[in-house]
Amino acid sequence: MPSSDPERPGLLIRDPFKFSDAMLLIPPQLVGCLACFDGEQTALDLRSSLVRLTGDIQVGELEKHLYDTLSEAGFLEDEKFEQLRQARMKEFAAAAKREASHAGSAYPDSPDEARKALSEFMQGASPESEDSQIGIAAPHVSPFGGWECYRDAYAMLKPAYQDRTFVVLGTSHYGQPDRFGLTRKPFLTPFGEAMTDLRLVDELAQKAPSSVRMEDYCHAVEHSIEFQVLFLQYVYGPNIRILPILCGSFGRSIDQGGKPEANQNVQRFLGALGDIAARERESLFWVLGVDMAHMGRRYGDALTARADEGAMAAVAERDRRRIERVNDADADGFWDLIQENRDDLKWCGSAPIYTFLKVVPQVRGTLRRYQQWNIDEQSVVSFSAISFRSRQGA
């Protein structure tokens, strides 16, 4: 990301997997050299690039400094990086609990401060009575950016749902495509410890072993489930029971056509989760942690995106067409829209949504709120609040 400090311009780089805790500031004149570290170019290419940028043929010391700095920080795919990666993955696998990795950054790490923040987010909530309710979709964008949609989604929860297992389907931003990330670990937030339903985790792992990544490291850094657990605990207290499932991208289906379940791993998992959904319908409640379109410079688009303005009005219309398919439980129609232009809207929540529609087909959704939010001055994320009820109760 670009440095926001005019006294220290350049490019800030960090590791979203958190294998490395370092953050480096690359000076503007050296940013172009990062393209040389692509696994194909050589040290000679890097040296030539540095000569062009500096106008000095004596760049050996600068070349070594740049290489050593990136390597020591864990930003090159080398032995140092592999050591960091293995250490972090082993650390997570051995941990007894899934720590609150975003407490203190995306929301307060103090229980009192977190409760105060969520209380403010939930102000003005107007709970509606909805018979046969079985789930909600909420954002996974930062709560301070999407609080109105979080509020309108979580306002739908009734006290009667407290003892259910909350099946939380979250976007796996970094996970393996066509795989589902599971963990047996309880989830910690400032509010306390949410227990994972081990019986259901083990059933999924046993019925679809090739479809899952057990103790998936992505759980250690992923926010899409953590934010839902935080809101669930705010509503019901810390002692909730969850089934946390990270859904890897169905990108191959988007690129090559066909349905995600044409992949045998996806098919097996959908079958196993569908069996659980049908068998334990009355004891489950579904929570989708999903964002929608990602538009603008941050996401590789040429346009400068402003929420609800210009080109984003057309994005809103296309978003709503997809939401209509979701609300009608039309999984095939929804996926047809996702595949248009290879999902140029970049809906990161498409895999959890499709998973839900396939395993719980008899639903009817209601859009509670739709929003666009400028995550920075040039980029927009869209998201919504949706409630789902059983079609039998419609």
Going residue by residue through the chain, which has 394 residues, state the pLDDT in tens, using 9 for 90 and above.
888 788 999 999 999 999 999 999 999 989 989 999 999 999 999 989 899 888 888 888 999 999 999 999 999 999 999 999 999 999 999 999 999 999 999 999 999 999 999 999 999 888 776 778 999 999 999 999 999 999 999 999 999 999 999 999 999 999 999 999 999 999 999 999 999 999 999 999 999 999 999 999 999 999 999 999 999 999 999 999 999 999 999 999 999 999 999 999 999 999 999 999 999 999 999 999 999 999 999 999 999 999 999 999 999 999 999 999 999 999 999 999 999 999 999 999 999 999 999 999 999 999 999 999 999 999 999 999 999 999 864 4
**Residue 96 lies inside a defined structural domain of this protein:** no
Residues 171 and 38 in one domain: no
pLDDT for the residue numbered 394 = 41
Spell 299-336 as b/e; 16+ CB within 10 A means b: bebeeebbbeeeebeebbebbeebbebbbebebebbbe
What whole-number distance in Å separates Cα of residue 390 and Cα of residue 41? 56
Total of domains in the chain: 2
Residues 79 and 127 in one domain: no
Domain boundary, last residue among 27, 62, 90 = 90
Spell 129-168 as b/e; 16+ CB within 10 A means b: eeeebbbbbbbbbbbebbbbbbbbbbbbbeeebbebbbbb
Residues 119 and 198 in one domain: yes
pLDDT for the residue numbered 217 = 97
Domain boundary, last residue among 41, 68, 90 = 90
Residues 74 and 211 in one domain: no
Pairing of the two strands 241-247 and 180-182: antiparallel
pLDDT for the residue numbered 393 = 46
Q: What angle do CA 242, 245, 250 make, to 5 degrees?
A: 160
**Residue 140 lies inside a defined structural domain of this protein:** yes
**Residue 3 lies inside a defined structural domain of this protein:** no
User: What type of residue sits at position 293?
Assistant: A
Residues 315 and 293 in one domain: yes
**Residue 2 lies inside a defined structural domain of this protein:** no
> What is the CATH number for 389?
3.40.830.10
Residues 80 and 112 in one domain: no
**Residue 110 lies inside a defined structural domain of this protein:** yes
pLDDT for the residue numbered 58 = 84
**Residue 1 lies inside a defined structural domain of this protein:** no
Residues 222 and 354 in one domain: yes
Domain boundary, last residue among 90, 115, 135 = 90
Residues 250 and 325 in one domain: yes
- Which range marks the domain in which residue 224 is found? 102-393
Residues 138 and 278 in one domain: yes
Tokens at 279, concatenated? 């068998």
**Residue 5 lies inside a defined structural domain of this protein:** no
Tokens at 318, concatenated? 């296309």
pLDDT for the residue numbered 139 = 98
CA atoms within 13 A on the CB side of 206: 7
The model's pTM is 0.93
Residues 364 and 388 in one domain: yes
What whole-number distance in Å separates Cα of residue 306 and Cα of residue 36? 33
| Alpha helix positions (H), the chain | 43-54, 60-73, 79-94, 111-121, 143-154, 198-207, 218-221, 226-236, 251-256, 264-279, 311-327, 331-339, 350-359
Residues 227 and 129 in one domain: yes
**Residue 97 lies inside a defined structural domain of this protein:** no
Residues 72 and 220 in one domain: no
